[in-house]
Structure 1
């Protein structure tokens, strides 16, 4: 099984969205609308502008609402007559609400402005911002795309924002289409932000091979922590495409280029494990441990690898430390039982069966866990404490043990060793019911018949 670090996607870059409130009279259509303003309308907008310049947005809202001849029950949309129904007044009202912010009323005001002037760019852009600020990403994407289609000349940023919002909404394939259209329509304006979020879209859609050359380009362009982040992303792409050898070569290069970056050594550990290079994985884990404190799981991995590579001394020290941290937890919690079993194995490799027995008694003092009893029986058998071993094996076999057949077989051998032939035969008969142990159990009973009692 391949061990892979989780893919770390780059955070979407929203730079520019915070400044999307477009001042009045900046867009061409806004200027056109301004030509048709009556004297009272112009006077009202001047007062609104003055209040907004003073950041008195609530005052401007009150002024607009007071200008209505037919208030509409606090809808905030300005649907009365005269100046209150002019699209620029609705736009100003929306801008005031957006600055408070009061998103529902801002949305209503912008929609009212667009109902009166569908191609009013300022209202469309700020409506898109309302949707993006309130995480209505699908609506934001549609609004930005509509703004892009209306812009003349076409403003690339609006199509870019539409692609980003589409990606944020979880529609990666559609976002990819938007990005590809963006690059094709505006090849001379391609920005790094565009490339980064296009790479995010490709990886979100699992188009790893298509993303790889783009990420390589981003690595070449980046510096500092940004470069490290994209190097890590490229490494993860190799892992997701099951190209472990390429991942190994790249991670090795990275670790040699900057040997103090802990994540490169951590990556090497996972890749080595995936390739079955256990001695090298342990070496890399040791280096990683010098650069970054090991987590509990990483310490356990260190102990497991040490045990597997026949370095029981290292394994014992680490398992003992880990178990000391969880001594008062239930036996099956946090993989504690597995660690106990492996620590017992390490003790046995060191010839310290007495410590192994003491460990089992300490963590299972009531001797009620069948698997621990089976392990205890093995230790007692090795120590030639056959009566105690028989008892442990029989208790394990009677419990909910996954190795009942083995437990009965060993109970038979242990009872035979201290000349309790009746108990031995009984245990062998029970072991014979299990297909895996039938042959050995029958052979033991046959030999017992041929062997005179001790």
Structure 2
């Protein structure tokens, strides 16, 4: 009887892991999202939900055993909540405790859940344990609830084969293949089962399909070949040739004819072999090299095709057509320097064609030659372009367009488009935009041209955005939107980002930024940047309760996006929860331990919590990464001062002010540290220096407060002086 080790191919060892994870994350997390509120952190919820949430967090952090312990608490607290058992089953499966996982799934079924995917999970776990009877029962139960889940039929067929239920397995494979016709392994298994069941005609049909799908692997079914139809004229030809070879020997003509027959049958390897034998018999049959080149290209063996072309050209170096084919092969294989050299050789050969004025050439042939020159020049220009030799490409494209214009001919739109692309890549964006617009006028409905023009306009907008010329950037983003208002979110997103920057200084831009991000989300609801910066707008305008659920959802969907994690931490901090903020930053730092902003933010959060040692550690990490950053140095001074490390604080403040002598907060803080060390003369001088500099700066409420304090300290210190 067939079994998994000797009749069917053994399943991939990673299959179960992938299958199980689908259920762990697909069932547990989805059900959690649908049943547990996440936006209201102060709502009263059952204790079991807290355990569930903690388990979810621990599992994501890789603490699977701890997650399991929390889930056991959840099931003890609320033994009637099936969701706890679904989650527990997933965790147990992840730990390799499959029997316990099955038990947990079965408990969830008894309590409430009738999700067919749970039955399929039980089947997968039972199959992993070698309990094929239980796996079959589970798969059947799942299919009764969801008969449209075609992979369930494949899984059921597999375990039925293990159980020897061939006639039951066959229709399940057929149902699966009715939906997935290109599943080679499943079709091979079905063919094997049909043959085992003595249903040879059906088996033959399946083997024939397998042969058509992958002729190279048909040798696996050689012992079944009698069931397939093979007779055709090429085979008869081979028989005749074999008889002739018995009589005449392996001469080059017979070998070449045999190769032709093999080629007609699709037996390319045999054809190549016979062609090579023919060449060894008669090296002067140079045309065979071209046949070999064609065969190698069919077999996707470009290196061998190139060797065949070169062998031919060694014998016939003046064959321009073959040299051109060689150049095209180099280009297709991205061997751009060789393609460039070979195209140049082709052009040199074409230039030797006699001119009609000399009375030595047919004008019609000369016209064809000129067409060939233009074709090869275009290809040479393109080879330069993809090789990064943009100036050479631009020169050739411009020469082609100039020649066309001098003859009063319509310019080739492909040349204009390629030139525009070359301009674009070379950073000549204004020229690229102008040329794209010209080509678009000729083909206004060409989506590719519209995309290229939009891309160039976007590049100009991005250029000005990077240079902080935001109004210029706005102009080009708006132009890009006018070309493709609905097909591309990038221009609208660029425009939204411009308004986001501008609204920081001018609140009149805030509604524009909001509208732009909202319109991006209408086109692309899952656009991460638009969702993130829409939430950040809420943060900037202190709409924390609106921002928080958006950022929490983004963090779940994009846990490795540092901007999302940073913004979520800011939201927690703004809502007065520095502990969650600190944990969020620390989690993000595991992804990018060299992110200065995250270290600074984490330090601020720890400082808010009063954990100055951890704050110091965060700021010191930031200083290692940016030793001259005055903000980092100042914050480090603050946390030193709070820990009474006055000498270290003084040094940090001095360094901060040395890096930026307009950063007067550092100077004021330095004076306070000097005063605290009872170095009153130095403190007085520093306060006076601060007051002098602050008086010359723009007034603000914070500056005014600091200045008032400095003047008060100066007055008091003068009284202490002898």
Same fold flag (TM > 0.5): yes
- Normalized per residue, the structure richer in helix is 2
Match of 1:190 in 2: 411
Q: Which has the higher contact order (CA 8 A, sep 6+)?
A: 1
Alpha-carbon distance in structure 1 between the residues aligned to 2:427 and 2:557: 40
CA deviations 1:379-406 (Å, max 9, x no partner) are: x7xxxxxxxx5xx447645875542322
Q: Does 1:158 align with 2:379?
A: no
Q: 5 Å matches for 1:31-180?
A: 54=264, 65=276, 67-68=278-279, 71=281, 80-81=283-284, 84=285, 88-151=287-350, 152=366, 153-154=369-370, 155=372, 156-180=374-398
* Deviations, residues 20-61 of structure 1 (Å, cap 9, x unaligned): xxxxxxxxxxxxxxxxxxxxxxx99x9699769947666765
Q: May I ask how many residue pairs the two structures share in their alignment?
A: 359
Q: Aligned-pair distance for 1:120?
A: 1.1
Return structure 1 stretches of 4+ with deviation > 6 angstroms. Answer: 46-50, 55-60, 427-430, 444-447
Distance in 1 between residues matched to 2:292 and 2:617, nearest whole Å: 80
Change (3 A) 1:272 1:51: farther
Deviations 1:420-440 (Å, cap 9, x if unpaired)? xxxxxx577775553421223
Q: Note the residue ranges of structure 1 that are not aligned, 5 or more in a row.
A: 1-42, 72-77, 348-352, 381-388, 413-425
CA contact (8 A) 1:219 1:230 kept: no
Q: CA deviation at 1:164?
A: 1.5
Partner Cα distance (1:102, 1:340) in 2: 52
1:268 CA displacement: 1.3
Query: Which residue number in structure 2 is paired with residue 316 of structure 1?
Result: 548
1:267 maps to 494
* Contact 2:275-2:292 within 8 A present in 1 as well: yes
1:438: which partner in 2? Answer: 670
Give the match for residue 720 of structure 2: none
Q: Helix, strand or coil for the counterpart of 1:219?
A: helix
Q: Which residue of 2 aligns with 1:34?
A: none
Q: TM-score, normalised by structure 1?
A: 0.63
| CA contact 1:215–1:233 (8 Å) conserved in 2 | no
Matched ranges for 1:359-374 at <5 A: 359-360=580-581, 372=602, 374=604
| Equivalent residue number for residue 475 of structure 2 | 249
Q: Deviations over 1:199-235 (max 9, x none)?
A: 2222222222332211222333342532441232231
Distance of 1:269 and 1:439 partners within structure 2: 44
* Map of 1:418 onto structure 2: none
Normalized against structure 2, the TM-score is what?
0.42
Which of residues 533, 541, 559 is equivalent to 1:301? 533
CA contact (8 A) 1:208 1:241 kept: no
Q: Partners in 1 of 2:636 and 2:429 — Cα distance? A: 48
Cα distance in 1 for partners of 2:325, 2:582 equals 71
Aligned equivalent of 2:399? 181
Point out where structure 2 has 5 or more consecutive residues left out of the alignment: 1-252, 351-365, 587-598, 621-631, 655-665, 681-712, 717-722
Please tell me whether the aligned partners of residues 51 and 59 of structure 1 are also in contact (alpha carbons under 8 angstroms).
no
Give yes or no for contact 2:457–2:476 (8 Å, CA) kept in 1.
Answer: yes
Cα separation, partners in 2 of 1:101 and 1:319, compared to 1, 3 Å: closer
